[in-house]
Structure 1
Amino acid sequence: MIIGYNDDFFYFRIVKKNGSVSNFRIPEIYTDFKEKNTISNSIDYQCEILLQSNILLDICNEFKAFKEETLIIQTDRTSVAFKIKDPLVYAETILENKKTNDFYISNKNNLNLEFKVKYFLNIGTIVKKININECLLQIGQNLPLSLVFSISSESSFQFYLAPLLTN
């Protein structure tokens, strides 16, 4: 896998064992690329959620109509809830450990974070276009949402989504 960056786009080239080559151009959706390098790999996220990419894609598809709203992610010891903050409509998807197949959560603290839905939906577009097996969401209070996508057993890539800061 070859990764590059230019003009607000990430470029991926995947050369497969069968000789085929896949090229991807993905817009930068979370922060200035230079700032990404300052994010430490030693961040202690309070919650980690491993799920199949089709579950993440289903959540994104359910929230398409709310792209200008706020997405609330709430976690507790056994579940994670994705909720839409809208003055008129209530929308929510809850994943519960051991009740939802292909979903596992490890959580130290209950969390309640807010993100812009439109940026979260961009992640769904990427999942749809690239053959991604599973996704690891790492969540922490006042930290960017980290999404690690596994493309194969040997390659993955990571995105960060900044939370909305509340006073």
Structure 2
Amino acid sequence: MRTPLTALVGAALLATALPLAAQAQPFNGPMGVAGRWAIDLPRSNFNTALTGPAPLSGELDVTIDDGKTLAWTLVEEDEAGVAALQFADARLDGTPTKAVVNLTRVTISVDRVGQSAVTVTTHGDGGARHQSMKVTRTNPDTLLVEQDIDGKPGPPDQTLTLKRVK
């Protein structure tokens, strides 16, 4: 079974953004990530030592992107079928909330860090690892997710690229 970390990629994948200079005004309005996204396996870099085998496919469905909240479902599949499953509905102000990751409830928070950017943090309860993800929309149809899984400083532990499907 995949670790909750991989499923949280969905959380991160939802959130997107171009790095923007810090602004005094709060960010508002939709982030432009509603719709379906698929993991681009050839362009992604998985750290199998931390997360287990890479999935054969993955799809992220962002159902709410209203500037205040993001809601999403992530499903990853491997040879045996569903490898990871995640459901979340989170405010973009860092308020802790519960998400479902592989049938386990975990606490996450989502912070909006740019006009189209968020960071997603898993707080390590329910057996989940403490991890964070930065999600960047590199163009209207591509998301880049940089995951810190092990909590150690340095480059991301793995990066995932998602392409807009619809």
TM-score normalised per structure 1: 0.35
TM-score (norm 2): 0.35
Larger radius of gyration: 1
Structure possessing the higher relative contact order (Cα contacts under 8 Å, 6 or more residues apart): 2
**Which protein is richer in helix relative to its size?**
1
